[in-house]
Amino acid sequence: MTPYCELSKEELLALKEELTAQYEDAKGKGLKLDMSRGKPSGEQLDMTMPMMDIFNGHCDMTDEQGVDTRNYGCLEGILGARRLLGEMLGVDPEHVLVFGTASLNVMYDSISRSVTHGVMGSTPWCRLDKVKFLCPAPGYDRHFSITEHFGIEMITIPMGEEGPDMDMVEEYVKDPAVKGIWCVPMYTNPLGITYSEEVCRRMANLSPAAEDFRIYWDNAYCVHHLYDDRQDTLPELLSMCRANGKEDMVLEFASTSKISFAGAGISCIAASKANLEWVKKSMTIQIISHDKINQLRHVRFFKNLDGIKEHMRKHAAIMRPKFELVLDTLERELGGLGIGSWTKPLGGYFISFDSMDGCAKAIVNKCKEAGVTLTGAGATFPYKNDPRDCNIRIAPSYPTLDELKQTGELFVLCVKLVSVEKLLETK
């Protein structure tokens, strides 16, 4: 393969003509596919359908502690659910509160509560002139939307192969206006990499100027491995912080949205007891108790971490070929052309693609024109502003293999065409 940058103007023009013809052809196919979000496929959701039969025949709805899950009460969530999600995160149940369906909601509420009531007695953020957040990017767009919604200034921290640039993080936390950092530490959205032990060690040893600084540790993909034999591992941050006498510094979040049902799972926060007490001070005003029936449903279905792992192996069997298909297409079609690079994750929901600078928006637009919706270019950066306009998040989970084949082919075609046009601009 000749890298595109070595092609002459004439060669590029000829290539452009050929690619344009292919693209017009593709547009004629009338594709209509949405790959914008990390949605589980119907096939994955089917794996959890037996959970719907868990309470068949009017069985006992009382939990191991005698809590009638059908009634009010048990603000913290039932013990079984605290234990199950705690096991998943490597945290004791007494450090876990179980909420409703969405960890996003729990994170939103954590920020909202800090804005109105502060953090464990600190000044409410709404009374401060300036509040800043560190945002490793590319990262999860919905994290950035929350901080943007509350008018919090976002500072982009570049992501490396081992996680966020910790030199920058350590420097920025000296600013007392910096109140937090958004992290997806494992199979991170969208890169698919996992923070290294060294990054976690430095994270757990931060010395922020702000006493209300928290690490928002969204461990969304902690059991979402693609392979049995090749898996990333992540140290447990709460205990690492505790070992440093800093156990109040981290709030961990997780849910079963991409384990059981997307939008009908259970979610949790894991943190020090002091943090949990603070959370509960608002929580007890906000709600009497979350859906304990759904909690019990999950406990009876999964039983324990082994149950979750076994279940996730079924997911992996569905997800693996999808990831491999996309990666094969990228390698076969773009390998050696010098117009893009991409990550090869061992888990999670995304592949991150970097085009040549200034091409991502155009590629996404071209795909859209031909019927394939990708995550908006820029979405993986604070304020949806990717300074190099190069990052595209690929979400292979939802389409079928056949759809994915079509999308993949369209995608590489668009990458080629936009890259050629870009290169021609300077010839």
Q: Does 14 bind its own copies (CB under 8 A)?
A: no
DSSP state of 124: P
Quick one: 286 or 341, whose CB is closer to its own copies?
Answer: 286
> Would you count residue 377 as binding its own copies (CB under 8 A)?
no
Residue of 7, 69, 200, 390 interacting with its own copies (CB under 8 A): 69
Span of 25-33, 106-114, 215-223, 376-384 interacting with its own copies by CB under 8 A: 106-114
Binder of its own copies out of 3, 25, 116, 207 (CB under 8 A): 116
- For its own copies, which residue of 137, 146, 206, 379 counts as binding (CB under 8 A)? 146
What is the smallest separation between the CB atom of 42 and its own copies, expressed in angstroms? 6
What stretch of H or E contains 326? Answer: helix 305-334
Characterize the bridge pairing of strands 33-35 and 351-355.
Answer: unpaired
Dihedral angle sign, alpha carbons of residues 75, 76, 80, 81: positive
User: Contacts with its own copies: how many residues (CB under 8 A)?
Assistant: 57
| Euclidean distance between CA atoms 334 and 339, whole angstroms | 7
Q: Which of 77, 80, 100, 345 binds its own copies (CB under 8 A)?
A: 100
Q: Among 9, 72, 123, 304, which residue interacts with its own copies (rule: CB under 8 A)?
A: 72
When the beta carbons of 20 and 36 are compared against its own copies, the nearer one is 36
Residue 229: CB minimum distance to its own copies, A: 30
**Interface pick for its own copies out of 104, 226, 240, 254 (rule CB under 8 A):** 104
Smallest gap, in angstroms, from Cβ of residue 154 to its own copies?
A: 14
Residue carrying the six token digits 């297409």:
329
**Distance in Å, CB of 313 to its own copies, minimum:** 20
Smallest separation, CB 182 to its own copies (Å): 14
Sole binder of its own copies in the list 20, 122, 239, 282 (CB under 8 A):
282
Least distance from its own copies to the Cβ atom of residue 262, Å: 5
When asked if residue 53 is in the footprint of its own copies (CB under 8 A), the reply is: yes
Q: According to the binding rule CB under 8 A, does residue 399 interact with its own copies?
A: no
Stretch of 189-197, 292-300, 344-352, 378-386 contacting its own copies, by CB under 8 A: 292-300
Instruction: Report CA-CA distances (Å) from 311 to 43, 192, 295, 345.
Output: 13, 21, 17, 20
Contact call for residue 73 and its own copies (CB under 8 A):
yes
Which tokens belong to 312? Answer: 């996730």
**Would you say 149 or 344 has its CB closer to its own copies?**
149
Query: What is the smallest separation between the CB atom of 351 and its own copies, expressed in angstroms?
Result: 19
**CA neighbours within 13 Å on the CB side: how many for 355?**
32
Chain contacts with its own copies (rule: CB under 8 A): 37, 39-40, 42, 45-46, 48-50, 52-53, 55-58, 61, 68-73, 100-102, 104-105, 108-109, 112, 115-117, 124, 126-127, 142, 145-146, 149-150, 257, 261-264, 282, 285-294
